[in-house]
């Protein structure tokens, strides 16, 4: 079935444009495509360039959120909301109206709070994240792409503004430069569709990792999935919910992680983005997938 | 099972407050409660005060949306978006930023556009809605509560502001007073949980009515369900998605209509509202229901 | 001196565009020009088309404000502020943030409150205004241009939205349609530069009318002049203060009334507007005037 | 006359509260008061504590603006506007709507741009400012209060947010930390009423310094005065224009510099602030002053 999806989305490969605000991402060929599926048993299958590493970018927010919830039993929710934002992903207007409390953990402001919380818990947040991703994917070679990280750090004014702004409301615990550094590093991790599907599998498995231990409770896994469905794809969550019908989180590197609760995790990658920052061929592939399987929730 | 839910939510009955901006609604005892379930075969079961009529208010927006989509094959979507709003349900700021195009059909602004479109299609929008609801529920006595309608018409400044504002951007087709009148009438329809579950059943049945005819296509039914999940409960859609895990639409009369696609429609009613305008005991009852059945989608 | 100004602004006549949102105004030749000066003794001098009547539009807001202050001894200030708005003249966002209290009496929202207050005081607000303007100008033929009024009433959605919105906060006393009707009529009054300079003379005379009676106190006249300087020319008040250096109020009919406290009132008219809605040749003429006389306050 | 003003405002001394967001300022006794007047000849007179140094804070914005205009002949105006803002002095919402271009040079965002421009011109902006202030006041001991500077640098998150935000739109030339450092240093300069009146005298003298050289042109001096009148006292510019009737710039240290064009500069100081951040006794003293002299412009 995955091979069939590769064929069906072939006409869409190259549609859209690669993210251009980070030079290191802008150079990627928008026509590339890969897809992988990890089932509850930890088996993984793939098609296309499913073993090629790409920059996960905002998809990392799903994992830092899970790691923080694993550590704090939801004290995080005093510092960040859980509702859709209805604005461009980096708007400061909404943050001002709500006095420094971001709407949800997947807009940049919210993800910066999550990273700040993870720093408070473990110190080296991106290192902790990398250790988790290596263990779950079984790939000890996962690493931060230092060129991408440097490129993002050099274009971080908007995120620095957001973080200092929240700090002015007392909603940041650690020094702003440290929060930014860890945030940039987490976004710059490189993973393949294979790695990503395996790493996200625990969200399909009610919070249980491949080794059988519980990372988060069933309730927390439901929580994360619900936030993915309502807030995971920037300002296109309603459209994604309709077309794909399962929780998903996209990144401007062109990747999308989708979760079918109780069944599997699916990762797709194609760098051509639509105007809202989601992979054109990636969304189409997931649309085909849920149509073929009948696993849409609507 | 419905009886068990009635028992379990008993401690919550009376929590919250009845909507107070409409005098006719404010007088209702917040401790009342009813629940009904309609399956795909059109069988309906209930518990508590499931045959008592209450004011459907915003739940009517689901039905006008379906009627418009049945008539226009989605031309509506040039006039209203499909994304969560992230704002109070009657904010004008967002409407100004997006130049008169409401974010989705379930905030007041969007529902007023849907009503305007339905007037263009059929003339007497609330009459058309009533005919549909009577047919689907098998209850020929469904009617507009004229006292509630008069009360709402007398407190309509905010909705009048919203409608004139959209008209100033050219996004209203019919005279503003007529749109308001029809909108107020549709919100003031009285239905019981029984009526409501039967009327919403077609959304669980992929768009097919009790008599076997298709009201909307399967794709359109999916669309409506997706909008219910992401935008159906004011500024608590993320929380509702997590707790209940199926599409739902609430009204300030205390009712909620929830859809389990492919299985059934469930209607609950209890007038005590939380700060975001959703029924306290109603949400709790649906939470119990999806937990007991395992039908949460996450 | 007035003749010299007519010559100096001749190259600018026809620059800009006549207001196009009201058909009756859009037909006026943008190249027309007139100027008149009324001194404290009530002598009036003019040049160009200084006796041609034009639509005063927003300049009427100065007079309704004075009439209300004459009647209420400033109780108005609980319903409207006195600070510059920093926004387009018809923005609803600011009004929402400040919960239905307009920033100042010269943005549309504020002027609608002033009209509402005048209706409460005298009933027929535009009739009362007309009586005052006829008396002060000595021109018994001043009248409402009914074609302009009808045209504005037919394009009033934005102002209706603003008024209903304020009404939803409890800040409107009279029925919205009546407020709008009176507002539209006051804006549609036709006056010449001659009439306007004579009618505005009392603001240069510390509140004293031509017949020696006091319309407003010296403090109130100062107040009105200060509001004209900081808020009188839409989103160009800072620029007008710098270039012209005296209080002024413009209208989209192309007129501007300027006050030199203790000396005179000057009225100019030329229908070509800049992007901010102020008369191009009119502002230039006032710039010349204050430069020639040395009466700029800076 | 100055002694008489000291007596008249005596009952107001201690009204209001000292700025509390900077610990070093919060410790000052709010009851202190001084006033000084410098005439065109450079003669200076004073009363009360007119030779006691205090923190000039935002009053420094007048001088950096003049220094930049002296150097660039108004190229600055592509990066910052000249209109009142109508918002709290540190709002990011307006800055977002206008894409990183602040409304005027006296809100924090605008002043940060002015400092950035001055750094580009002279390198050590606060050093250049100090040199100018020493020369104009004839006081070689003027200096930065390092304790205040350190205190402000430690509470700079809001200003850092604003500056990074403008940088994200490409409207900042120098490194953000350097701009902030220079901005904090300029605000932390200590001056007495005597020093301040002498330093501001050139704005009353059409741009000409005490030594007879021209700092800015007459047009530029008019420009600065006009911006002071419309934007110099945070969100109370309309009220200040009415009560005082001449251009003024306040600071949260309790100082106000007022300019009577062609006549004199007046500086007052009293640390008790009203809710909008302006000195209670200071505004009252200037109100008395312009009433006694008849120099109000309205």
D183 assigned ligand-binding residue:
yes
Share of residues in chain D with pLDDT > 70 (%)? 98
Per-residue pLDDT at A94: 82
Among the ranges given (A269-278, B85-94, B165-174, D69-78), the one the predictor scored with the smallest mean pLDDT = B85-94
Per-residue pLDDT at D88: 63
DSSP state of D244: T
DSSP state of C214: B
Among the partner-chain residues A226, A238, A261, the one whose CB lies closest to the CB of B84 is: A238
Topology classification of domain A2-293:
Beta-lactamase (3.40.710)
What are the structure tokens assigned to A107, written together?
A: 């807009």
Q: Is the pLDDT of residue A89 over 60?
A: no
What are the structure tokens assigned to B227, written together?
A: 């909008």
Among the partner-chain residues B87, B241, B296, the one whose CB lies closest to the CB of A230 is: B241
List CB contacts (< 8 A) between D176 and chain A: 157, 160
C242 assigned ligand-binding residue:
no
Chains sharing 3 or more CB pairs under 8 A with chain D: A, C
* Average pLDDT of chain A to the nearest whole number: 93
Per-residue pLDDT at A87: 67
Question: How close, in Å, is residue C160 to chain B by CA atoms?
Answer: 6
Q: Are A12 and A267 in contact (CB under 8 A)?
A: no
Per-residue pLDDT at C19: 86
pLDDT tens by residue, B96-150 = 888 899 999 999 999 999 999 999 999 999 999 999 999 999 999 999 999 999 9
Distance CA D156, CA D159 (A): 5
3 state SS of D215: coil
Distance CA A172, CA A187 (A): 19
Per-residue pLDDT at A281: 95
Give the residue-averaged pLDDT of D26-31: 88
What are the structure tokens assigned to C75, written together?
A: 């109780």
Does the annotation mark D234 as catalytic? yes
Alpha helices in C169-236 (DSSP H): 176-187, 193-204, 218-231
Give the residue-averaged pLDDT of B153-172: 96
Per-residue pLDDT at C116: 98
Q: Which residues make Cβ contacts (< 8 Å) with residue B96, sequence separation at least 6?
A: B165, C91, C92, C93
Per-residue pLDDT at D295: 87
Determine, for residues A242 and B261 on separate chains, whether the beta-carbon distance falls below 8 Å.
no
Query: Within an 8 Å CB–CB cutoff, is residue B203 touching chain A?
Result: no
Query: Within an 8 Å CB–CB cutoff, is residue D21 touching chain C?
Result: no
- A·B CB contacts under 8 A: 95
Q: Which of C44, C55, C60, C61 is catalytic?
A: C61
D152 assigned ligand-binding residue:
yes
Determine, for residues C237 and D84 on separate chains, whether the beta-carbon distance falls below 8 Å.
yes
- B·C CB contacts under 8 A: 56
Share of residues in chain B with pLDDT > 90 (%)? 77
Report the DSSP pairing between strands A44-48 and D143-144: unpaired
Taking the CB of residue D213, how many other CB atoms lie within 10 A of it?
Answer: 9
Share of residues in chain D with pLDDT > 90 (%)? 77
Share of residues in chain C with pLDDT > 70 (%)? 98
Query: Within an 8 Å CB–CB cutoff, is residue A86 touching chain B?
Result: yes
Query: Within an 8 Å CB–CB cutoff, is residue A96 touching chain B?
Result: no
Query: Within an 8 Å CB–CB cutoff, is residue D103 touching chain C?
Result: yes
pLDDT tens by residue, B244-266 = 999 999 999 999 999 999 999 99
Q: Provide the residue ranges of all domains of chain A, joining segments of one domain with +.
A: 2-293
Query: Within an 8 Å CB–CB cutoff, is residue B165 touching chain C?
Result: yes
Q: Is the pLDDT of residue C86 over 80?
A: no
Among the partner-chain residues B94, B230, B296, the one whose CB lies closest to the CB of A237 is: B230
Report the DSSP pairing between strands C189-191 and C143-144: antiparallel
List CB contacts (< 8 A) between D168 and chain A: 157-158, 161
pLDDT tens by residue, A171-226 = 999 999 999 999 999 999 999 999 999 999 999 999 999 999 999 999 999 999 99
Among the partner-chain residues A227, A237, A247, the one whose CB lies closest to the CB of B84 is: A237
Give the residue-averaged pLDDT of A147-165: 95
Give the active site residues of B.
58, 61, 183, 234, 252
What are the structure tokens assigned to D41, written together?
A: 């000849």
Interface ipTM: 0.91
Among the ranges given (B2-11, B177-186, D123-132), the one the predictor scored with the smallest mean pLDDT = B2-11
Q: Which chain B residue shows the shortest CA-CA distance from A236? A: B83
List CB contacts (< 8 A) between D96 and chain A: 91-93
Per-residue pLDDT at A97: 82
Q: Are B59 and B133 in contact (CB under 8 A)?
A: no
Q: Is the pLDDT of residue D90 over 70?
A: no
* Average pLDDT of chain B to the nearest whole number: 93
Residue-by-residue DSSP string for chain B: -HHHHHHHHGGGTT-SB---SSHHHHTS-TT--EEEEEETTS-EEEEESTT--EE-GGGHHHHHHHHHHHHHTTGGGGTS--S---S-TT-SHHHHHTTT--S-TTSHHHHHHHHHHHHHHHS-HHHHHHHHHHHHHT-TT-EE-HHHHHHHHTT-HHHHHHHHHHHHTT---S-HHHHHHHHHHHHTEEE-HHHHHHHHHHHHTTTB-TTS-BSS-HHHHHHHHHHHHHHTTGGGHHHHHHHT-S-EEE-TTSEEEEEETTTEEEEEE---B-TTS-BHHHHHHHHHHHHHHT----
Determine, for residues D164 and A167 on separate chains, whether the beta-carbon distance falls below 8 Å.
no
Determine, for residues A82 and B238 on separate chains, whether the beta-carbon distance falls below 8 Å.
yes
Name beta bridge partners: A35: A47, A268
Confidence of residue D97 (pLDDT cuts 50, 70, 90): confident
Distance CA C289, CA C5 (A): 7
List CB contacts (< 8 A) between C97 and chain B: 93
3 state SS of A220: helix
3 state SS of A118: helix
Instruction: Single out the residue of D234, A103, A87, D94 nearest to residue C97, CA to CA.
Output: D94
Query: What is the CA D188 to chain-centroid distance, rounded?
Result: 12
Question: How close, in Å, is residue B277 to chain A by CA atoms?
Answer: 15
Determine, for residues D247 and C223 on separate chains, whether the beta-carbon distance falls below 8 Å.
no
List CB contacts (< 8 A) between C237 and chain D: 83-84, 230
Q: Which chain C residue shows the shortest CA-CA distance from D228? A: C238
Does the annotation mark C244 as catalytic? no
Query: Within an 8 Å CB–CB cutoff, is residue D226 touching chain C?
Result: yes
Distance CA C57, CA C249 (A): 10
Per-residue pLDDT at A54: 96
Report the DSSP pairing between strands B248-250 and C189-191: unpaired
Does the annotation mark C183 as catalytic? yes
B123 vs B117, B120, B140, B178, B182, CA distance in Å?
Answer: 9, 6, 21, 10, 10
- C·D CB contacts under 8 A: 95
| Cα radius of gyration (chain B) | 17
Among the partner-chain residues D227, D230, D245, the one whose CB lies closest to the CB of C84 is: D230
Q: Which chain D residue shows the shortest CA-CA distance from A165? A: D161
Q: Is the pLDDT of residue B78 over 90?
A: yes
Query: Within an 8 Å CB–CB cutoff, is residue D150 touching chain C?
Result: no
Instruction: Single out the residue of A157, A174, A171 nearest to residue D162, CA to CA.
Output: A157
B295 vs A192, A199, B196, C185, CA distance in Å?
Answer: 33, 25, 20, 62
Among the partner-chain residues A93, A160, A164, the one whose CB lies closest to the CB of D96 is: A93
Chains sharing 3 or more CB pairs under 8 A with chain A: B, D
Question: How close, in Å, is residue D28 to chain C by CA atoms?
Answer: 30
Confidence of residue C72 (pLDDT cuts 50, 70, 90): confident
Nearest-10 crossing angle of helices A108-122, A157-168:
70
C266 assigned ligand-binding residue:
no
Query: Within an 8 Å CB–CB cutoff, is residue B74 touching chain A?
Result: no
A171 assigned ligand-binding residue:
no
Query: Within an 8 Å CB–CB cutoff, is residue C99 touching chain B?
Result: no
Among the ranges given (C145-154, D24-33, D109-118, D217-226), the one the predictor scored with the smallest mean pLDDT = D24-33
Determine, for residues C164 and B157 on separate chains, whether the beta-carbon distance falls below 8 Å.
yes
Q: Which residues make Cβ contacts (< 8 Å) with residue B261, sequence separation at least 6?
A: A297, A298, B203, B204, B206, B221, B222, B225, B246, B247
Per-residue pLDDT at D20: 82
Query: Within an 8 Å CB–CB cutoff, is residue B173 touching chain C?
Result: no
pTM: 0.92
* Average pLDDT of chain D to the nearest whole number: 93
Per-residue pLDDT at B180: 98
Question: How close, in Å, is residue D57 to chain A by CA atoms?
Answer: 19
Among the partner-chain residues A86, A247, A298, the one whose CB lies closest to the CB of B222 is: A298
Give the residue-averaged pLDDT of A280-295: 93
Does the annotation mark C172 as catalytic? no
Give the residue-averaged pLDDT of D278-297: 92
Query: Within an 8 Å CB–CB cutoff, is residue D241 touching chain C?
Result: yes
B234 assigned ligand-binding residue:
yes
List CB contacts (< 8 A) between C176 and chain B: 157, 160
Confidence of residue D24 (pLDDT cuts 50, 70, 90): confident
Distance CA A237, CA A278 (A): 10
Determine, for residues D82 and C242 on separate chains, whether the beta-carbon distance falls below 8 Å.
yes
Range C142-169 burial, b when 16+ CB lie within 10 A, else e:
bebbeebbebbbeebbbbbbbbbbbbbe
Question: How close, in Å, is residue C136 to chain B by CA atoms?
Answer: 37
Distance CA D73, CA C171 (A): 47
Q: B36 or C295: which carries more pLDDT confidence?
A: B36
List CB contacts (< 8 A) between D93 and chain A: 92-93, 96-97
Query: Within an 8 Å CB–CB cutoff, is residue A235 touching chain B?
Result: yes
Segment (H or E) for A230: helix A218-231
């Amino acid at each position: 079935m995955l091979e069939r999806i590769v064929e069906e989305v072939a006409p869409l490969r190259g549609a859209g444009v690669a993210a251009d605000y980070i030079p290191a991402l802008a150079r990627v060929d928008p026509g590339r495509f890969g897809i992988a599926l990890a089932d509850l048993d930890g088996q993984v299958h793939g098609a296309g360039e499913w073993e090629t590493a790409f920059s996960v970018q905002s998809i990392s927010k799903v994992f830092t959120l899970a790691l923080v919830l694993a550590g704090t039993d939801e004290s995080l929710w005093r510092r960040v909301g859980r509702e859709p934002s209805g604005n461009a992903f980096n708007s400061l207007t909404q943050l001002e109206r709500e006095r420094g409390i971001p709407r949800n953990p997947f807009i940049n402001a919210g993800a910066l709070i999550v990273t700040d919380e993870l720093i408070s818990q473990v110190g080296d947040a991106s290192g902790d994240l990398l250790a988790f991703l290596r263990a779950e994917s079984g790939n000890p070679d996962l690493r931060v792409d230092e060129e991408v990280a440097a490129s993002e750090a050099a274009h971080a004014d908007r995120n620095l503004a957001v973080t200092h702004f929240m700090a002015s409301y007392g909603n940041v615990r650690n020094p702003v430069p440290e929060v930014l550094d860890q945030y940039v590093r987490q976004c710059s991790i490189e993973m393949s569709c294979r790695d990503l599907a395996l790493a996200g599998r625990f969200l399909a498995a009610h919070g249980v990792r491949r080794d059988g231990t519980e990372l988060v409770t069933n309730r927390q896994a439901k929580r994360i999935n619900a936030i993915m469905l309502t807030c995971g794809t920037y300002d296109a969550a309603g459209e994604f919910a309709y077309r794909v019908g399962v929780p998903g989180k996209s990144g401007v590197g062109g990747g999308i992680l989708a979760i079918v609760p109780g069944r599997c995790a699916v990762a797709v990658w194609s760098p051509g983005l639509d105007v809202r920052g989601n992979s054109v061929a990636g969304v189409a592939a997931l649309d085909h997938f849920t149509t073929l399987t009948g696993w849409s929730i609507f």
